[in-house]
Structure 1
Amino acid sequence: MGLSWQQGPLSPTRIGRFLTPEPLPERLLFAERLRRRMRVRFHGEWIADSEDVVLLHEPGRYPVAYFPRADVRAGVLTGGDRVTHHKDLGDTAWYAVHAGGADAERAAWEFTGLPDHASELAGRIAFAWRAMDAFYEEDERILGHAADAYHRIDIRNTSRTLEVRSGDRVVARSERPVVLYESGFAPRWYVPRADVDEKALTPVEGQTFCPFKGLADYYDIGDAEKAAWSYREAYPEVGRVGDMVSFEPDRVEVTLDGKRLAMEPGQQVTPHGIDRGLDTDELRTR
């Protein structure tokens, strides 16, 4: 979750509400300075480098980084004659990006008709995430989208008993699960592999990617497709759930201290796209 996407407080699908006497506007946009050095790489060349990036949080979208034009390398942007209209921020000019002997059409944009209340974005350029090689904070690659300061993950131990059944078969039973709390999402329960009947898990092809946790592998359980998943090589920040298994409570029976779990608002997750040129080996060695 972030401030404005998935189930965040400024998202149209938020699960909480603002306690105000009058309803808020249907769409709320929020801009703030990132206060981190951010760089953009395209076809092996650095094309933007700034310590003055502004993040735009727009309802239903990942945060987007906007660079001062002065911090974008001269000659990289061409065109700008194609103009669309943003419902909140006015006319938008689109640019092709040229560097390293390659071109990417409509890979950058600038708001050219901003209302007075959105002056923070004046003279700033944004780059299409998947069209670029990569985005960096200092020398570390940022995956999936610009880092959102409003996203948090906490992992807690518990002595409660978690049991997973598929029909009459006990798939997992543990008195040492951990619970992962992720901003805006319902809790997710993870079980050590030693407490799982691995013969009940059938690995399936295909992985998904979380910018905060890493690559997820999936398993069928009987006829229940993708009923379990595991971050086998979770990022160090969430290493406590590495190689543990979690289960979908709407596809198999999951009980916690005898009480059956059910899908809750905010439990569904919108998958992230994979950055262009990003392979699984790079994700694993992040």
Structure 2
Amino acid sequence: MSSDALHFDRDYPQLVGDRGLIEPAPRRVRGYFDGELVFDTIGARYVWEIQYYPQYYIPVSDVRMKCLEDEEHVQKLQFGSSRLYTLASSKRTLMSAARLYDTGPVTNYMRFEWDALDWFEEDEPIILHPRNPYVRVDTLRSHRHVKVELDGVVLANTRSSIILFETGLPTRYYIDRTDVDFSHLEPSKTESICPYKGVTSGYWSAKVGEAAHPDIAWAYDYPLREVGPIAGTIAFYNEKLDISIDDVRLPRPHTIFA
């Protein structure tokens, strides 16, 4: 097929991972509840309950069942029949925090509510949800000319950006603060979490004339080490303003994720 026959409404690769997909997870996975170990396994499975990212399902043989109490509540769900369990520690109990499947493709696997536990892959904490093994995140220093404008006002102008390529999301352009005009920007209290980049350290809203534009830029001052080069730089939402690369204005995508 010639390139002329291809047409995309986006300029980035889409996510891979169909709903219902089950894959092995080749890493040690542990979960703690109030500091007490609930499971320790090298036999976890990635299970895609939705398309965008998987959840971890844990073999029941690697779960410390003394931490759990059967609620005698049977449910039939996407992957089969399951029973709900309460999590208990010396400090508290948490209802319906886990479910054990009795039938289907994940028979004898437990699924835990993510926010109930502190999760670790090997010895590294993971946040928000498991990382999709089909997602790639790359940061590349570039001397392409990047200009950011909002209603005709230039907010950033640089020839030394860090371009972040993340599967399933628009390309992001991280810009040194010395190349950003903060005269139209005001700090925001917004915070977001990304399992690939970490926790944002700040957002900015913009005011141009009488128009207010909330949360158009963000920064990771202490990102995860895999994307260390973006530390302290500022990125702007392609979706909310105009970004030009080498004097060519990019189309505004529809997806909004930092």
The answer for the alignment partner of 1:8 in structure 2 is 15
Q: How does 1:52-71 map to 2 (within 5 A)?
A: 52-60=43-51, 62-71=53-62
Give the count of matched residue pairs: 240
Q: Distance in 1 between matches of 2:48 and 2:242?
A: 37
Distance 1:155 1:84, change over 3 A: same
Cα distance change, pair 61–102 in 1 and its aligned pair in 2 (3 A)? farther
Pairing of 1:104-183 with structure 2 (within 5 A): 104-114=94-104, 118=105, 121-132=106-117, 134-183=118-167
Unaligned runs of 5+ in 1: 1-6, 12-27, 272-286
CA distance in 2, matches of 1:68, 1:254: 47
| SS of alignment partner, residue 67 of structure 1 | strand
Structure 1 residue ranges, 4+ long, deviating more than 6 angstroms after superposition: none
Q: Percent identity?
A: 27
Cα–Cα, structure 1 residues 59 and 231, in superposed 2: closer, same or farther, change >3 Å?
same
Instruction: Name the residue aligned to 1:268.
Output: 256
* 8 Å CA contact 2:172, 2:238 repeated in 1: no
TM-score for the superposition, normalised by structure 1: 0.77
Contact kept in structure 1, 2:82 and 2:100, CA below 8 Å: yes
- Cα shift at 1:248: 2.0
Q: Which residue is 1:257 aligned to?
A: 246
Contact 2:147 2:156 in 1 (8 A): yes
1:80, CA displacement in angstroms? 4.0
Structure 1 residue aligned with 2:203: 218
Question: RMSD across aligned C-alpha pairs, in angstroms?
Answer: 1.9
Q: Is the 8 A contact 1:218 1:229 kept in 2?
A: yes
Question: What residue in structure 2 maps to residue 103 of structure 1?
Answer: 93
2:39 pairs, out of 33, 48, 70, with 48
Please tell me the residue identity of whatever aligns with 1:71.
D
Give secondary structure in 2 for the equivalent of 1:70: helix
Summarize the Cα distance change of 1:32–1:250 in structure 2 as closer, same or farther, 3 Å threshold.
Answer: closer
Match of 2:25 in 1: 34
Structure 1 partner of 2:228: 239
Letter in 2 for 1:268: I
| d(CA) in 2 for partners of 1:221, 1:66 | 43
Structure 1 contact 188–246 (Cα < 8 Å) conserved: yes
Specify every segment of 5 or more residues in structure 2 that has no aligned partner in the other structure, as ranges.
Answer: 1-13
Q: Partners in 1 of 2:28 and 2:88 — Cα distance? A: 22
Contact 1:42 1:100 in 2 (8 A): no
Do the aligned partners of 1:37 and 1:138 also contact (CA within 8 Å) in 2? yes
Cα distance change of structure 1 residues 81 and 243 upon mapping to structure 2, 3 Å threshold: same
Q: Which residue of 2 aligns with 1:186?
A: 170
Whether contact under 8 Å (1:224, 1:252) holds in the other structure is: no
